[in-house]
Amino acid sequence: MHFHDLRHTGNTLAASTGASTRELMARMGHSTARAALIYQHASAERDRLIADAVSGLVDRGRKGKDRKLKGHAGDTAD
């Protein structure tokens, strides 16, 4: 095991918690997003969290459909 392996594991774990590209860049000391993007691997657990969050937004939107909508959503035809 090498130091770089620990660094990679730590940053992969940080990315899996939802750390942003900017946060990963700060942790690694990089000035560009290119290296940080390596650590933002898609995972089944993260995909499920994202899908659940999107589903929740859709459900809330459907429940609010009976209310008068304001802004752009109110201008959208059903």
Alpha-carbon distance of 75 to 70, in angstroms, equals 8
Return the pLDDT at 49.
85
Taking Cα atoms as reference points, which of 47, 46, 41, 10 lies closest to residue 28?
10
- Count the helix, strand and coil residues of the chain and give each as a percent rounded to the nearest 5: 70, 0, 30
Q: Let me know: does 39 contact 24? Beta carbons within 8 Å.
A: yes
Positions of the chain with pLDDT under 70: 41-44, 66-78
Full-model pTM = 0.50
- Neighbour count for residue 74 (Cβ, 10 Å): 9
**How many CA atoms are closer than 13 Å to the CA of 46, on its beta-carbon side?**
12
